[in-house]
Amino acid sequence: MHQLLAIGGLGLYNEKTSFPPLADTYLKFFIPTSPEPRRAEILYAEIKAAVSAQLGRTILNRRIFAIDYVREGKSFHVEVGKPEKESGDMVFAILQVNDGFVICTTLQGVFEGIPIFLRYESVHIVVDFEAP
C-alpha cells in the first residue's frame, strides 16, 4: 500500500501517523521573481486559474513548497524557486489537483506549455509552505 509522507502546517504526517509540528522548518509562501507578497498572491492566483482551465481539473487549496516523486524508476526532488532537473526551468508553483499534483515551471504551465502532472502513486513526500 502506498503511503504519502507530508510535511505541512499541522506537522509531519502520513496516512496513519501524526507527529508534532515542525514549525522551524517551514518557509513563508513565495513565488519566484515576485519579492512583494501582494504580487506573489496575484501571480499564484493567475497560475492556479490558468492550470485549472488548461487541464480541466480543480486546484485544491494547498500551498506546496517541495515534492519528491518517482518517474520511470528515477527519484526526483522539486522545490519552488529552483530549477526542475530534467528541463532546467524554474519551478514557480506545485499544485495539488483532485487526482495528483502539478508542477508549474517557466515553460511548463506558467508562461506557456502544459504543466508536469504526477499521479498520487508516484509522489512520496510533500512539503507545504508555512500556513498563512
In a domain, 16, yes or no: no
pTM beyond cutoff 0.75: yes
What's the rounded Cα separation, in Å, for the pair 58 and 49? 9
| pLDDT band, residue 48 (cuts 50/70/90) | very high
* Euclidean distance between the first and the last CA atom of the chain, given in angstroms as a whole number: 32
Residue 85 CB: number of other CB atoms within 10 A?
Answer: 12
Split into its structural domains, the chain has a count of 1
The range of the structural domain enclosing residue 91 comes to 5-9+22-128
pLDDT for position 79: 96
| Residue pLDDT, tens place only, 10-19 | 333 344 333 3
Q: Which residues contact 128 (CB under 8 A, 6 or more apart)?
A: 6, 7, 8, 9, 26, 62, 63, 64, 65
Residue range 81-87: mean pLDDT, rounded: 90
pLDDT for position 6: 52
In a domain, 17, yes or no: no
pLDDT for position 7: 47
If we measure between CA atoms, which residue out of 75, 73, 60 comes closest to residue 128? 60
In a domain, 15, yes or no: no
